[in-house]
Amino acid sequence: MKKILITGGSQGIGSSLVKKLSGENRTVYFTYNKHKEHALWLAKETGSIAVKCNLLVPEDISNLSKVCGNIDILINNAGVSEIKLFTDITDDDWDKVLNVNLKGAFLVTREFIPGMISKKWGRIVNISSMWGIVGASCEVQYSASKAGLIGMTKALAKEVGPSNITVNCIAPGLIDTSMNANVESKCIEEMIVNTPMQRIGTCDDIANAVEFLISEKSHFITGIVLPVDGGLSMQ
């Protein structure tokens, strides 16, 4: 029985991950912060376990560890975005995005990786973004945080590989989630035109890629950044 922890599991990509990975001799825990009603519904529907957790609060991380115990698979999915001109980004704007997207992943990973090392087995998948690879205008702090997550993935993969732990990264492109609801329709249309697959991505596209990276089929794959963007980042 594998134990999986998904951060930011109540909405969007996280919700699809919970649905996709629940069952099949797996116990799935997922964190939520604000969307309690949907989180509890999702837990009931999938048989997973919802845990309220602010990833930046030490007491919440400690409680999360007590609830989950040692885990086998960690998926760092929690994230926020913000669209602003670079000159309009405040110190608080910068800290909020970098803290949630990068520091939160660091804190959760640091909490749970000792258990993986002691068992000599583990799988970590970080959800970055294609913008962490190519950068996005008016999303400098978001792009920086996701690029940082890519660097963390590669460095950690080298460090814990001898303990039979793989660390990989998914870089989604434009995905149909509430995070992109405030993107202008003409921008979305332009991105679709520039996407070789000629469509917007779905949360299931990401969940399918994650399922592969935590499976035994990928046991010799580590330190990679896998774009799941329909080819958009090639442009």
pLDDT digit string, tens, across residues 180-204: 666 677 888 888 998 999 999 999 9
Q: Could you confirm whether 142 is annotated as catalytic?
A: yes
Distance between CA atoms of 24 and 15, rounded to whole angstroms? 17
DSSP H helical ranges for 9-57? 12-21, 36-46
> CA–CA distance from 125 to each of 1, 104, 149 (Å)?
19, 14, 10
Query: Between 23 and 114, where is the model more confident?
Result: 114
Assess contact for 6 and 75: CB atoms under 8 A: yes
Q: CA 161 to CA 182: how far, in whole Å?
A: 40
The catalytic residue among 79, 142, 207, 213 is 142
Q: Is 46 left (phi over 0), alpha (psi -120 to 50) or beta?
A: alpha
Nearest CA to 64 out of 108, 21, 8, 104 is that of: 108
- Name the H helices within 135-221: 140-160, 185-193, 203-213
Question: In this predicted model, what pLDDT tens digit does every residue of 10-33 receive, in sequence order?
Answer: 999 999 999 999 987 999 999 999
Collapsing DSSP to helix, strand or coil, 200 comes out as coil
Q: Can you list the domains of the chain with their CATH numbers?
A: 2-234 (3.40.50.720)
State the Cα–Cα distance between residues 200 and 229, nearest whole angstrom: 8
CB neighbours of residue 67 within 10 Å: 13
Reading the block at residue 84, the tokens are: 């602003």
The pLDDT of residue 184: 73
**pLDDT tens profile 139-195:** 999 999 999 999 999 999 999 999 999 999 999 999 987 766 666 778 888 889 989
| pTM for this entry | 0.95
